[in-house]
Amino acid sequence: MKKSFPVLLCVMILLLGFAVIAAAAEQTSDRRYTLPDHGVFQMKVPASWKEEVQQPDDNRLPPTIALRPASGDQFLILITPFWQTKKDEPPLSDGEIQKMVQRAADGAQPNAVEKTLKIIEIRGSAGRGYYFSATDKAPEAGGYKYLTQGALLVGELTVTFTILTNEDKKDVDSAALTMLKGAIHVKDKEN
């Protein structure tokens, strides 16, 4: 009986640990964004994040999805799914996406604390892409200190994203990148 008590205690501690981890993992909700003449862009977004869809005046252009925390301004995530303008034109190639992200990193470099900005590959369920992260040398008042920016192929869409944070960079980046990796594009039947 004495030997089984430590085993039982270990099992109880493990179960409690799993319960805490499960409670800490935030629930997600499927969010669908209609794309003019190009179907639907869908992501599993943390349920507590609020969204605003910014649609340009020309309703034929891609929308930008802005995601923020339920309250406060700890982070801002901007996502724009865009498509090729010519009907028979293929989506951007892996090399074109990598060059696009490299140009963005080169543009961010002069204001970054880091001496070099490493381009990191991201593999999603519907394609792959690249991103980089940078720390702003001198963030503006009310601005953000940390930047993660990139582009990812999601079906026939090229999805650009910008993640801006001041705190909890790892947590926000991880949640946002997980959300983007699982994104899908559902095409219209006519397209």
Q: Is residue 71 part of a domain?
A: yes
Q: Quote the pTM value.
A: 0.83
**159-184: pLDDT as tens digits:** 999 999 998 789 999 999 999 999 99
Asked, for residue 121, whether it belongs to a domain, the answer is: yes
Structure tokens at 175: 């949640």
The string of pLDDT tens digits covering residues 106-140 is 999 999 999 999 999 999 988 999 999 999 999 99
Residue 21 lies in a domain: no
Contacts (Cβ under 8 Å, ≥6 apart) of 38? 83, 156, 157, 187, 188, 191
Q: Count the domains in the chain.
A: 1
Evaluate whether residue 32 is within a structural domain: yes
pLDDT in tens, 52-78: 999 888 777 899 999 999 998 999 999
| Secondary structure (3-state) at 28 | strand
The answer as to whether 18 is a domain residue is no
Using CA atoms, how far residue 103 sits from 107, 171, 183, in Å, is 6, 26, 24
**Which residue segment(s) compose the domain that 84 sits in?**
27-186
Domain membership flag for residue 123: yes
Q: What is the pLDDT of residues 29-39, one digit of tens each?
A: 999 999 988 89
The count of other CB atoms within 10 Å of the CB of residue 170 is 9
Q: Is residue 49 part of a domain?
A: yes
As a whole number, mean pLDDT of residues 79-92 equals 87
